[in-house]
A and B are shown apart, each in its own frame.
Chain A
Amino acid sequence: MELTLTLNGKKMSRLIEPGVLLLDFLRGEGCCSVKRGCETSNCGLCTVFLDDVPVLSCSILAARVQGRRVTTLEGLRQEAEELATFIAAQGAEQCGFCNPGFMMNAIALLREKEEPTVEEIRAYLAGNLCRCSGYEGQLRGILAFIEWRKKKRGGAQ
């Protein structure tokens, strides 16, 4: 079947098998940031944006994104690098394999809320598993980013 979508800002059409998962479709398109960590939809590694809303690409058929916008971490380079600097400052990226899904969901949270509390951060990102970091470094990084953004925006006013 023919699938038309906007992937990372570029409109494209592809012939796909009807049963292909969005995750596999995206990796096939060279979006290697999209990772698979489980088969039970509960690790969060494959998180992408569907019309700016974070979704698990392992749980959506590629056919379902007909006519819609899909964004992977490849499409958010600048926004990702801003936050990434703060996670890196904690050494919390560790092996990095869960990073793309975590970054996507963290970016979604930080777009949605100006100053989320610690509890809100934990709850929002609860579906993003990480086996290396123990989560604290990621939390410190996000909190430091929020402080930095607050100052930056305060200064701009």
Chain B
Amino acid sequence: MKIVNTSVPKKDALQLLTGQPVYTDDLAPKDCLIVRLLRSPHASAIVKSINKKAALLIPDIEAVYTWEDLPADAKRFTLAGQTYPEPSPHDHLILDRRLRYVGDPVAVVAGRSEAAVEKALALIKVEYEVLEPLLDPTAAKDNKIIVHPEENWEALCPVGADNKRNLCAHAESSAGDIEATLAACDIVLDRTYHTKAVQQCMMETYRTFCTIDTYGRLVITSATQVPFHVRRIVALALGIPKSKVRVIKPRIGGGFGAKQTCVSEVYPALVTWLTKKPSKIVFSRYECMTASSPRHETHMRVRLGAMKDGRIRGIDMYAVSNTGAYGDHGPTTVDLTGHKPITLYRTESYRFVSDVVYTNNMPAGAYRGYGAPQGMFAVESAVNELAALLKMDAFLLREKNIIHEGDYLPSYYGETNTSCALDRCLMRAKELSGWEEKGLCRKLKNGKVRALGMAMAMQGSAIPYLDVGGATIKLGDEGTYNLLIGASDMGTGCDTILAQIAAEVLECDLDAVSVFGVDTDASPYDSGSYASSTTYLTGQAVYQAATELRRRLGLLAAKLLKCEPEEIVFDGKKAAKIDDSGALTLAELAVASQSGNDVALDVTASTKSTASPPPFMVGVAEVDIDTETGEVRPVHYYGVVDCGTCINPNLARVQTEGGIVQGIGMALSENVTYAPDGRVYENSLMQYKIPSRLDNGRLTVVFEPSYEKSGPFGAKSIGELVINTPGPAIAAAIANAVGTRFYELPVTPEQVAMAAARLKM
């Protein structure tokens, strides 16, 4: 391999680093109407009356829309960017009379200046009938308060949803007889765990601008991971044909799943469609922290059954996932909470039961890991606790129980573990971190305690039989290529990675491949960048399209050289007859393709997958704990990753480092808590503390690749996997230091200080 598995810089790197205007708000026309939302101050209320007369008197105000302006028979839709029919229930309206969380939109205001819009927002008079909110997810099922009592609420897929019971989804899966297995175990650990609604905090908040084009169609330019889903969702929301909507994705300032939900698009789309004027919305950070789509808060009960010799025989998990006011990604995220961590272990039986419940909290959505980080915290914490109970090394306990390559995976949809270096990851992580030499806990001269903890993780690669990867490659001028994709590069570097795959197949320089994406009018259909799918699934489409284009180049060359296609040898630069009696350079073929030619040198490939091969990771956290203040400071984090072949090792490394640091935030400082009236306390980056570069310590990342035959050049996914280990690994390190186990994330300094104080007493 010449270009695959090399660390070429990202194709857009210098443009980004020198601050070129390539993001949504940089590209918005100067005369855009400014769109902002009046949001509900109540967690549960009904709009009794709303008066917008005074607001409309402001000269620079163009429009104010309320629920009364929308058709009474408007159909509900979901904002979740998923393949249709979406598993997420159709429970949204653009503007609803019933308000379900603090921040639910009450009115859409559009005006020619920020100041005018600000003034108008203050002048809209709303009379609310304030209702008692439902804020406790553990009491939500069959509560007397119903979040979605409406008759036109609709679940399109059989996900066990029942709005009259506050159920967004219910599912049960199992293999073997879990009760019998647990009854036969020497030890059954029975614990409950809790993780919070942590925020993606991409640096670019949600934003969208809309215009009307020459043909009267609505053009949406948006920071989105799912352009094709946005097209469908907005068409459904506005009640207009999909053919009237075109979506363009420029550079995105981070996604992490947040932009897999159509959070900002429908509002300017409504304004521009009705006024026929350009408009834009830019979410404030405040809105991003209070009315967005964070991780699902999850309560989990884990029963882990094992023998004294360390053989894990069964895992039983029950999860309650809080989807908040709307069910975006509710039914699907929870699936990973159980199936991903349970699958790490060879067990005789397992069971996973889940309820996804509606509450009057801010709606949840997709966030890197998509439900897996919650479950990984629970199961890996339980296994770490089991190791302590058995007085067995945490690595040894894993080595006895992990799945291996070739294993049948009953808890992973009956798939086979086709590529797996988890065993090697364990060995390498133990060695790399100095696990045995350092010991789990040691006192430092400065009075602090240095401790180690570890955890494993896996994720998937794309959603099998459902999502679609797409790529078009065409021969351009002078023997270069254009690669058109529908997958969204959100900073991860997929434009570059996909170009590397194309260049490898076509045996050309990376610079010879120009990447275009995404425009729903021009890009081939692609489900979008989510579910750890781009490298694995869209990468296969690129591979196939490039392979077919090679064949067609041979056809054209054979025609021109008057021979059979089988007699042509193409080496990336020229197509030559096998007997050296004639040759054409690629540039000559490009010229010929534009003159009297009837061989299309423009190939589109679509791919689906029939499996979701898991990537694996082992993480070791080394932390310093101040037993006086409770401060936990990560000193060094070691990550060993099996993502199959690294198409671009640098980008895989940075993905891993970024994921680890996000995971450190989830473990130690990122918290979402609610006031009794349902307001979020952590409403800015001041209160919601994401790690700065002083908070993460050193990171060491290495790769232990397996080879996944179904992936392009042996690749699996990496983007989501890497956020999973810090939660359980850091919690284990803290337990090793202060002797107290924590069953909730984040673990705060107050909790650690109290635990340390108890230890001293």
Contact = CB atoms under 8 A, between A and B. Distances in A.
Contacts, number: 179
B19 A97 contact: no
Q: Which of B19, B204, B492, B690 has the most CB of A within 10 A?
A: B19
Interface residues of B, number: 57
B12 interface: yes
Contact of A32 (B21, B252, B285, B699): B21
Interface stretch (B267-275, B399-407, B653-661): B653-661
Main secondary structure of the interface of B (DSSP, over half): loop
A128 B691 CA distance: 11
A11 to B, nearest CB: 22
9 contacts: A35-B23, A38-B285, A38-B684, A73-B18, A84-B13, A88-B10, A89-B650, A132-B254, A132-B491
Contacts of A37: 203-205, 285, 685
Contacts of A136: 654, 657, 696, 698-699
B14 A134 contact: no
Contacts of B651: 91
Contact of B493 (A84, A91, A128, A135): A91
Given A84-B13, A98-B253, 18 more contacts: A33-B18, A33-B19, A35-B23, A43-B285, A73-B18, A88-B14, A89-B7, A93-B13, A93-B17, A95-B202, A96-B16, A97-B254, A99-B16, A126-B694, A131-B662, A134-B661, A137-B650, A137-B653
B26 interface: yes
A77 interface: yes
B4 to A, nearest CB: 15
A131 B203 contact: yes
B201 interface: yes
In order of increasing CB-CB distance, the 7 nearest A-B pairs are: A33-B19, A95-B491, A96-B16, A97-B253, A134-B657, A88-B13, A84-B17
A7 to B, nearest CB: 14
Contacts of B13: 84, 87-88, 91, 93
Contacts of A63: none
B9 A91 contact: yes
Contacts of A127: 692
Nearest to A94: B491
Contact of B7 (A33, A84, A91): A91
A130 B203 contact: yes
Interface string A70-94: 0011100100110111011111111
Q: Which of A33, A37, A127, A132 has the most CB of B within 10 A?
A: A132
A103 interface: yes
Contacts of B204: 35, 37, 95, 97
A94 B17 contact: no
Contacts of A12: none
A93 B255 CA distance: 14
A91 B654 contact: yes
A13 interface: no
B168 to A, nearest CB: 28
Contacts of A99: 16-17, 19
A96 B489 CA distance: 11
Given A91-B9, A95-B253, A133 B653 contact: no
Contacts of B493: 91, 94
Interface string B462-489: 0000000000000000000000000000
